[in-house]
Structure 1
Amino acid sequence: MEGKKRKEKQYFVGVRLTEEQRKLLSQIQEDAGLSKTEILLRGLELLSEYYSLGLDKPLLSTELKRLEEEALRHAEALKRIRRREEALKEIVRELRDIDRIVDKYDGKPEALIQILLDIQAKYRWISKPSLIWVSERLGIPVSRIYQISTFYKAFSLTPQGRHRVRVCLGTACHVRGGPQIMEAAERLLGVKDGEVTPDGRFTLERVNCLGCCALGPVVVIGNEYYGGVKPADLEKILSKYE
């Protein structure tokens, strides 16, 4: 069309180039100080070397793939080893903390419950290594410590979130919408009763009675009580806790 400048086509040795390719070629020419012909010849030489080494052969490609997979497996194995090492270091740190707690009570067997309470307060649960170590330090059978740990609700033998969310489903709370509150909590937190959120923020629990039936339905987070809760209120309540 007259009046319009015809767009110039860009070619390189008979091959049409895109604008991006043209710019890249110009940059290579400028950086290397080579002509288009010299660049083409060098490219052909490299391609010839590539084929002479057999890099295009399926067998070699398969072998390279196998080596890559072996390397990945090796890397994963190293990660597992490091994870085990970190776990062992964590246990050692935990047992040292427990030593300090036991020493605070002069290693007296009669201080068992207080020692367990201190461990629970520090870690939010009592691990198996902790039970065994307390048993060794106090000279009390592990079975006895286990009985006490499972009898009292204050103790947990499974990891707990930073904040304990308890939803009352006792009779008074149940008839006022307790089950709907529990469903909303499960949906918002993405966990079921007794589970911990992946980020470790919350543990969700259903309880039969919290002793404040007149306030139902009731949700307790830590030591804070929320009465007359509606499902729509939960998200705002939970957002207060980090």
Structure 2
Amino acid sequence: MLSNLWGPDKSITYTGCAIQLYAFLCVGVTEGVMLVVMAFDRYVAICRPLHYTVIMSRPLCWKLVLMAWLCGLLESVTQSSLTFQLPFCAHHGLDDFLCEVPALIRLACGDTSANKLPMSITSVLLTILPMVLIMISYGFIAQSLGKILSEEGRQKAIATCPSHLTMVLMFFGTVAMVYTDPKNQLASKHGRFFTFLYALVTPLLNPLIYTLRNKEVKGALLRLLCKSVSTKMRSFELGGSRRS
């Protein structure tokens, strides 16, 4: 995708489009399942702190990661296979900047009901259901926070939640708008914008959002900003003195 966006040639081969779709679906679904796993991790850490190391054992962590990748692989194989069975129009122009299921369905000439129904069902299972599970976990977390007497302990527990909730809303919210009904007016008009958010912006912000709670990262970012501001101020002063 980056290669196509960077160069003058915006075309992609049929094989390249298939590979891109398989990979995109696999890692996308895996990320969504991992957001649910992270919500469960926060629930155990805040609601069952004394049992955390027992519950979140290394074997369980490996099983959860494996489950996430298996869900991504299963969804990728199923949806991609169904999508590439569609009859496509003679003009193969994707109204998108990468090969994904809604854009390919809009490109199809034949009946797409056999594709839209499975995609809508899996969209509900992989977007709405995970969000419900995450909200339930945060409901239990909110109850536990009310029982913490120490203000410092409460603030420490709360500090781990906003970054995760931000990514949940950004990721699942935009994915649901595009994948639940790919031919609706909102998805057709603003599909590329939503795709841009969950395909590029969310992964780009992931490292920043999850690491800004780290004191060393905060310090490094503050030093970088101060250095940038001081450099601009010096260049402004030099420019002013030259004009004078």
Q: TM-score, normalised on structure 2?
A: 0.22
TM-score, with structure 1 as normaliser: 0.23
More helix by share: 2
Q: Structure with the greater relative contact order (CA < 8 A, sep ≥ 6): 1 or 2?
A: 2
- The structure with the largest strand share of the pair is 1
